[in-house]
Amino acid sequence: MENYTQPSTDFVLLGLFPPSRAGLIFFTLTFPVFLMALAGNLCMVLLILLDAHLHTPMYFLLCQLSLVDILYVSTTVPKMASGFLTGNKSISFIGCGLQCFFFLTLGGAEALILMSMAYDRYVAICSPLHYPIRMSRGVCVLMILASWAIGAVNACAHTVYILRVPYCRSRAIDHFFCDVPAMLTLACGDTMVHEYTVFLSTILLLLFPFIVIAFSYGKILLAVFRMRSQEGRKKAYSTCSTHITVVTLYYAPFVYTYLRPKSLRSPAEDKVLAVVYTIFTPTLNPVIYSLRNKEVLGALGRVTGKFCVLKM
């Protein structure tokens, strides 16, 4: 690892790739994925807003998921890219705090939005007659606001603490963004209490929603098995398998990263896992939801057709 010391209050992000030819190759492979994540999620947001057939609770939640993913990759990747290309890897004290706050807010909000999407599918398949009431526009808006608010409160608590911690070692963070566990390794003094707090937050904002999602899909699968309609069963399986794929790609690396004991962590492994949930998962989400969803593909055809008519 490069030996950085920072006499000022700034931090130094050591980054994801080494400053070598191999690092440049990995960077040229990763950065287009970031651009695909931005383009794919932006297209999904615009498609849902422009097509009236997608103005339903499920797609309203999906629109929020895509918005979170756009902000997610924009919070971490541009700074990593500029540091690699310019060689200036420093980040101000305030800048690091803001990056930490937005990353935690978006992470918590996405976990809760995925839980809301699972609940939406559970009500739609297991209680279809109650769906208009239990998933009304007002309920959907409350779910979204609660997801953002809980994520922001959790992020604020951790960010305030991490910025008040005394740092008596090098301020070089062995990561490509200001991640709380990576910053705690630089602190002097006992941080055990905050490590337990991170553990508790992970259980409440990641493990608990995952359990709710698993329970919801367990009930959904039981309901699907009892369906007489082959077409209805096929559609339910398609929708559920899409959601399960997204949930697995998001939760698995996140939970593994933040629930591991400090003694079992390694900076290199943490960075690889972070790439999965900060870059690759946001890239795959719109692909999974569009290629495996006939309604989205139909909306894409309708919107594209409207633009073609307008141009003519």
Distance from C-alpha of 229 to C-alpha of 145, rounded to nearest angstrom? 36
- Quick: pLDDT tens for 244-294: 777 888 888 888 888 777 777 788 888 888 888 888 889 888 888 776 667
Residue 61 has pLDDT above 60, yes or no: yes
- Quick: pLDDT tens for 5-52: 444 578 999 988 888 888 889 899 888 999 999 999 999 999 888 888
**Structural contact between residues 286 and 47, judged by C-beta atoms closer than 8 angstroms:** no
**Structural contact between residues 24 and 17, judged by C-beta atoms closer than 8 angstroms:** yes
Distance from C-alpha of 53 to C-alpha of 21, rounded to nearest angstrom? 49
Residue 4 has pLDDT above 50, yes or no: no
pLDDT tier, 2 (very low <50, low <70, confident <90, very high otherwise) = very low
Percent of the chain past pLDDT 90, that is, above it, reads: 32
pLDDT tier, 307 (very low <50, low <70, confident <90, very high otherwise) = low
Task: Identify the CA nearest to 281 among candidates 27, 13, 29, 41.
Answer: 41
pLDDT at residue 142, rounded to an integer: 95
- Cα-based distances in Å from 101 to 104, 109, 180, 191: 5, 12, 10, 19
Domain boundaries of the chain, sorted by first residue:
11-310
The CATH superfamily assigned to 11-310 is Rhodopsin 7-helix transmembrane proteins (1.20.1070.10)
Distance from C-alpha of 128 to C-alpha of 283, rounded to nearest angstrom? 32
Residue 97 has pLDDT above 50, yes or no: yes
Q: The pTM is what? A: 0.87
**Structural contact between residues 205 and 111, judged by C-beta atoms closer than 8 angstroms:** yes
